[in-house]
A and B are shown apart, each in its own frame.
Chain A
Amino acid sequence: MKFIRIQKGFDLHAAGRPSLELQRLEAPETVAFIPKHIRFIKPRLAIKEKDSVKVGSLLFSDKHRPDLKFRSPGAGIVETVHFGSRRILEAIVIRLDSKEEDEIFSSISEAALDTMDTKDLVARIQEGGLWALIRELPFKNIPFYHGKPPGIIVTMGTKEPFEPEPSVYLRGREDLFQFGIRVLKRLTANVDVVLPSGNDAPDFLHKMATHKVSGKYPCGDAGVLLYWTKIDLNQKRTWYIHGQDVLLLARLLRDGRYPIERTVVLAGPDVKHPCHIETRMGAPLSHLAQFGTINGDHRFVVGGLFTGYPEPGNGYLSFHETAVAVLPNDKKAERFALFKPGYHKPTYSRAFISRLNPSPMTVDGRYHGEERACIGCGYCANVCPVDILPQFAFKTIIIGEMEEALKHGILDCVECGLCSHVCPSKIDLAQILKTARADLYKEMVHR
């Protein structure tokens, strides 16, 4: 096992951290699949409204990659298919019936796994609709299978304030996780299990971990690990998968059914009892919230405080996300905020007296200021876990100097969002870098 210390990063002391308690929820009335949050895909629908589907029925596949399939997280009737502007497929909502039948997939026994052909294994994951759980660095796209990848990194958390703890979602699922890791080992010999230190992980995971990383958010991220351990250029196309997704993969291949269970974190300053929730893929946010007993007006953020996106209250969990944060939606204007010492203002800087406040603080989804030109404070470069200089890199992108931007290492960007978070000029640095990276990817694929 290797111990790695990541020097940079930032820990946000946000109030409302989830407890390790696990609550079970009964089935919701509807579930949904949200294609718009899966990057770089072009869905081709296989169903239409009023069709009846089983758990694991094909919903859509990718137009350019027909073997990339996405399957239904519930059984019942397709209630609505939402299209956004320019007919972007936004959501497929399924009204669940009481029986909930499963689509049957062929299962693989433990013994058969070791002798099986790798291509066959890949085909089964793709056919089972879970290939999208694996992502490829540096673009975080869904990988193309051209033989062995240089490595697979299994991430067990990034120290993001609200994210599911492995000790909760692995509880009683040791065998399943071991099976999943064996599946990944069939794809490539180099499977790294990355455990952030201070993570309350079960013993078997401590034994399995190949890397222990200490540091601040996002120290456990696959891209961060790769940046600090990369010795060879070939490794840049390393794949990664989240720990919880390994369980889904194992469930599909071992038990022969499309897995829908998800352990989700419901947390934030507006949640009365922030905790882990055992629910299912594509669960409606209102369903989770009704359990969470939330006070007043609020905003949902799906997928972590730094990487997630805001979602209206009638939204759903998307395919990859396992965290829901609930933030206050206080529309009141703040008075004389400029002249207050700010004992309760969470901040990276030292410009508020809250640096002396040890207790966790309420975070919200406001900008806390207006957009200004970059003043060169350098906070972004101080927190960037992969040593990018965002304050210079974003300018090279804006003026269109892609070569220069690549030299600045924008391909190493892990999209952790810290640069935008700390920026006092409120520049969307992370978004600018992300868009540039996405453009590069599209250029690369369509060449």
Chain B
Amino acid sequence: MSTQKPLFNSLRKAFDQNGSLKRLAPLYEVLESIIVTRPRFTATAPVVRDSLDVKRYMMLVIVALLPHYGFGVYNVGCQALLASGHSPNFLRAVFIGLQAVVPIVLVVFAVGFTWEVVFAVIRRHPISEGVLVTCTLLPLTLPPTIPLWQAALGISFGIVIGKEIFGGTGRNFLNPALTGRTFLYFAYPAQISGDAVWTLLIGGKTAAVDAFSGATPLAIAGSMEKMRDVHVVLSDAGYTLTKLFFGLYPGSIGGTATFLCVIGAGFLILLGIANYRIIIGCILGLMTTAGILNMIAGPDSMPYLSLNPLYHLVMGGSMFAFAYMATDPVSSCHMQGARWVFGFFIGGLTVLIRVFNPAFPEGVGLAVLFMNIFAPLLDEIEIKMRLKRRVSNV
């Protein structure tokens, strides 16, 4: 304790107004503020302010995401061992997983943080905590085989185009992490779609062993031939509802574990960080749309149409996006009623993109971004309706 104080005091000197490093003050401030919170007293009413700040708000999202990293590391290693013909051993799986995940995370954080510092220094705004959430979210949505330079490019696009050119956290209208992910998806489809990319191969192998199928459930359901029952095909490939729920199958690093998403969503709702209206709206929209598709599905229509709505919910990254991407307070709707509609449409669009668009096996990311664009409009409609009810005071 006593050693920190002189250290900070002498460091602070270099970064203050006359210091030699004054341009880098935002960087120093953010590093300092992680360890100590300097008192700043109010000068205007109300004198008393709430204890919550944006830093804690964002940090709690990161806390909710940490279990996904734990699971993701194990799952990546586990799938790698299976694909290479070994039996999964917990410690070995974790070791392999760490080898794959840690470099991606390090690169994403280093590049993302650098961009944030560059913008903060040039535009003289403080470094916002939002960048940490973005950097935590992005790796979880990537395949473990992603080349590191692509991860770096993805986070750069997400931070710069998704957020900073609009003025930083709070002024962006798209979810930065999803913006980066979607950029990679359209720019480098070879490395982020198909059956091979979702599984890491070890020991110099170039193809998975024959017994292992790297195909994701979304790809299977999207590309199967007609006249077969989609549920049978999925369970033949090993994808039962339980397996999908627990997420031990090839996929993005952290997005497959639906049960963790449910726990994380519950945690964030309980703490008042994520809005339950959006999450429940998403689930309702997804179930309703999938249910309607079930009803219109005939014997010779696409088998995907008749997929049980529950499968849609547990397959791929839908629940992950509902819990952590759709609920981003900045880019989602700000009005309570509009949040229901916003969520409902995300859920609905997710199913529609998945089923009717064979080019995009996963639709949830696009659905969230699409509705992000519509969020201000939905807000505007609700505000108009609400202001009409006010008794005029002018």
The interface of chain A, by Cβ under 8 A from chain B, is: 12, 14, 138, 227, 230, 233, 236, 299, 301, 305-310, 325, 327, 329-339, 342, 345-352, 354, 363-378, 387, 389, 391-392, 406-409, 411-412, 415, 417-418, 420-426, 428, 430-431
Contacts and interface: CB of A to CB of B under 8 A. Distances in A.
B46 A338 contact: no
B45 A334 contact: no
Contacts of B272: 349-351
Nearest to B391: A230
A368 B38 CA distance: 9
In this complex, the interface size class of chain B, counting residues with CB under 8 Å from chain A, is: 35 or more
A178 B226 CA distance: 87
Contact of B39 (A310, A332, A348): A332
A299 to B, nearest CB: 7
Given A366-B40, A370-B53, A233 B392 contact: yes
Contacts of B330: 375-376
Given A387-B390, A409-B387, A376 B60 contact: no
B215 to A, nearest CB: 39
Contact of B393 (A308, A372, A375, A409): A409
B393 to A, nearest CB: 4
Contact of A310 (B43, B52, B167): B43
Interface in B377-392: 379, 383, 386-387, 390-392
A351 B46 contact: no
Given A342-B51, A366-B41, 9 more contacts: A305-B46, A327-B47, A329-B41, A334-B39, A349-B272, A365-B42, A373-B169, A377-B57, A418-B46
A370 B51 contact: no
B169 A392 contact: no
B50 interface: yes
8 contacts: A308-B47, A333-B37, A333-B38, A370-B33, A372-B54, A373-B169, A375-B170, A423-B49
Contact of A426 (B47, B49, B334, B383): B49
Contact of A372 (B59, B170, B270): B170
A306 B45 contact: yes
A309 B54 contact: no
A338 B56 contact: yes
B46 A420 contact: yes
**By CB atoms of chain B within 10 A, which of A332, A334, A351, A375 has the most?**
A375
B390 A409 contact: yes
B55 interface: yes
Residue in B35, B50, B55, B56 with the greatest tally of chain A CB atoms within 10 Å = B50
Nearest to A404: B387
Given A236-B393, A376-B330, A376-B334, A365 B48 contact: yes
B335 to A, nearest CB: 8
Contact of A351 (B38, B60, B336): B60
Nearest to B167: A373
A345 to B, nearest CB: 4
Nearest to A391: B334
Contacts of B41: 299, 310, 329, 365-367
> What are the 4 tightest A-B residue pairs by CB atom distance, in nearest-first order?
A369-B53, A373-B170, A417-B46, A345-B51
A364 B383 CA distance: 35
B36 interface: yes
B391 A428 contact: no
Interface in B48-102: 48-57, 59-60
B134 to A, nearest CB: 13
A12 B52 CA distance: 14
Contacts of A336: 35-36
Given A333-B37, A349-B52, A365 B47 contact: yes
Contact of B128 (A331, A351, A372, A411): A372
A431 B392 contact: no
B51 A347 contact: yes
Nearest to A350: B272
Given A373-B170, A374-B170, A364 B48 contact: yes
Contact of B35 (A227, A299, A325, A335): A335
Nearest to B43: A310
User: Which residue, B35, B48, B49, B171, has most C-beta atoms of chain A within 10 A?
Assistant: B48
A368 B36 contact: no
A210 B236 CA distance: 74
B49 A368 contact: yes
B61 to A, nearest CB: 11
A335 B41 CA distance: 17
A251 B126 CA distance: 55
A386 B112 CA distance: 42
B112 to A, nearest CB: 18
Nearest to A354: B51
Nearest to B269: A350
Given A233-B392, A367-B40, A424 B46 contact: no
A110 to B, nearest CB: 38
Contacts of A335: 1, 4, 35-37
B33 A368 contact: no
A211 B45 CA distance: 28
B271 interface: yes
B202 interface: no
Given A233-B392, A365-B41, A306 B54 contact: no
B20 interface: no
A216 to B, nearest CB: 15
Contacts of A409: 387, 390, 393
Contacts of B171: 373
A375 B329 contact: yes
B303 interface: no
- A339, A351, A364, A423 pick with most chain B CB within 10 angstroms: A351
B334 A421 contact: no
B52 A348 contact: yes
A357 to B, nearest CB: 12
B47 A301 contact: yes
Given A346-B51, A366-B41, A377 B329 contact: yes
A405 to B, nearest CB: 10
Contacts of B128: 372-373
Given A330-B39, A373-B167, A351 B52 contact: yes
A424 B1 contact: no
Most buried by B among A370, A377, A378: A370
Choose among B46, B55, B330 the residue with the greatest number of A CB atoms under 10 Å from its CB. B46
Nearest to A233: B392
A371 B60 CA distance: 19
A338 B386 CA distance: 37
B42 A366 contact: yes
B37 A337 contact: yes
